[in-house]
Amino acid sequence: MKRFILAELLAWKSLNDRRKPLVLRGARQVGKSYLIKKLLAPHFESFVEINLEKQPEYRSVFEGNLEPQMLLTQLQVLTKSDIIPGKTLLFIDEIQAVPRALIALRYFYEELPALHVIAAGSLLEFAIEKVGVPVGRISFQHIAPLTFGEFLLNSGNEIFLEMLETHDFLTPVSSAVHERGLELLAEYLAIGGMPEVINNFIETKDYRTCETLQAEILESFRNDFPKYTQRDAQLKYIALVFERVPHLLMQPFKFVQIAPDIQAIHLRNAIDTLRKAGVLNLVYKSGQLQAAAGYDPDTYKLAFLDIGLAQRAFGLPIAEWIKNRHQLLKQGNITEQFIAQEIAAQGSWNTGELYYWQRNAKGSTAEVDFLIPIRNKVTPVEVKSGTTGSLKSLHLFLKSNPEVNYAIKTSSNNFSVMDKIRSVPLYAFPAWLRRARKEQ
């Protein structure tokens, strides 16, 4: 599976000798290990991997002296491999199993900077809470499920992707091309971005196997719950939130929606735990143009890790969704989840910073679905299911903030522009976002 993030990893490889060890963050089964072993490793003369979860014999190496050369010598003995700075990629997988290994990374940076070291783990936030992170001595990279663009790249639709990547995002495309874009988007919305599911869909078009794989991934997340907390009492709240969130996608969240008879503190902790595990994203309310400065940490909407997994949690058959794609694209919570997922995937590792704008004035309530910081300014994004819908809130936002260059309305409509509002089809929004982020 090809991944856009490979270009950034190759840029990291080419840095000078003061490069920092790189830590990949992300939920289970989003493809972190595959990315390193199959895509990045071939660009090195040699590759050495240790897995601290599957190979417990390596754990004791990090229990004693963390001097880099001593660590390297011991790892070479155990792996029976030469580890040569500047030529070898050392990959420490499931590093959260030994939190002291995270501390060791800082010494690799300080004393052995020529060595390329990458670490990955699915429950890193919990390990970091135990030992902290060496500030300024480690780089982080967030790995998300495959984006829609990566789905196109891997499914034989490279020409369509290239057309989107080079489009001016203003000129309408032909109705046939537009319909093709909506058709491909419907496939992605139904199967989601988990690499194993996409790979199966591309190879077999077997919807039932896709559903089985999605169900297995959901079950693997459930099996991880005991790793999130030492408190048995908290497990039931984590499980309850996990089961309910797909039914509450992108709605203004209230704890009573989970369970009216459970204290909010228990549910709040469960949400925070699932967020740390990468299973949930939070979209915070902000009332200011500079969203990060004016957001409300207690008011948010919930987004799931992956749209396909959310669909499976609903129990909705993939084949039916793809067949009735126009009905699928009319589901507002589904299209907003898609946009939230794309924004999160194309951000940095700590972008729990997804925001929406809301103004609650007497007799005048307005809401814009997303605020995206671009080139030190904010671009408001309104998501419309189907092809119709009022833009009253978006016009109000632009009137209240004349310094904003333009706004994006993304829906099932073709490309167009009217005043400061650009209409970008849902299938083209990820390409627009990628270009906007590259240019900032």
Q: Is the pLDDT of residue 400 over 50?
A: yes
pLDDT tens-digit profile of 26-76? 999 999 999 999 999 999 999 999 999 999 999 999 988 999 999 999 999
- Region 173-197 average pLDDT: 95
| Domains with residue ranges and CATH for the chain | 6-142 (3.40.50.300), 148-439 (no CATH)
- Higher-pLDDT residue of 17 and 92 is 92
- DSSP annotation of 252 reads B
pLDDT recorded at residue 129: 78
- Region 354-370 average pLDDT: 84
Q: Is the pLDDT of residue 351 over 60?
A: no
Average pLDDT, the chain: 90
pLDDT recorded at residue 374: 74
Helix (H) or strand (E) holding 425, with range, is: strand 421-425
Q: Is the pLDDT of residue 385 over 80?
A: no
E strands, 233-324, are: 280-286, 295-304
| Band of residue 386 on the pLDDT scale cut at 50, 70, 90 | low
Residues of the chain with pLDDT > 90, as a percent, come to 71
Q: Which residue(s) pair with 354 in the sheet?
A: 283
Q: In angstroms, what CA-CA distances link 39 with 33, 78, 183, 265, 312?
A: 10, 25, 29, 43, 29
Q: Is the pLDDT of residue 225 over 80?
A: yes
Instruction: Say how far residue 197 (Cα) sits from the centre of its chain.
Output: 16
Other Cβ atoms less than 10 A from the Cβ of 402: the count is: 7
Alpha-carbon span 214 to 318, nearest angstrom: 11
pLDDT recorded at residue 132: 74
pLDDT tens-digit profile of 281-314? 999 998 777 766 678 889 999 999 999 999 898 8
| Band of residue 88 on the pLDDT scale cut at 50, 70, 90 | very high
pLDDT tens-digit profile of 94-115? 999 998 999 999 999 999 999 9
Alpha-carbon span 379 to 404, nearest angstrom: 7
pLDDT tens-digit profile of 139-159? 999 999 999 999 999 999 999
- Region 351-369 average pLDDT: 79
Q: Is the pLDDT of residue 350 over 50?
A: no
Q: Is the pLDDT of residue 8 over 60?
A: yes
SS3 50: strand
For residues 182 and 427, the answer to whether their CB atoms sit within 8 Å is: yes
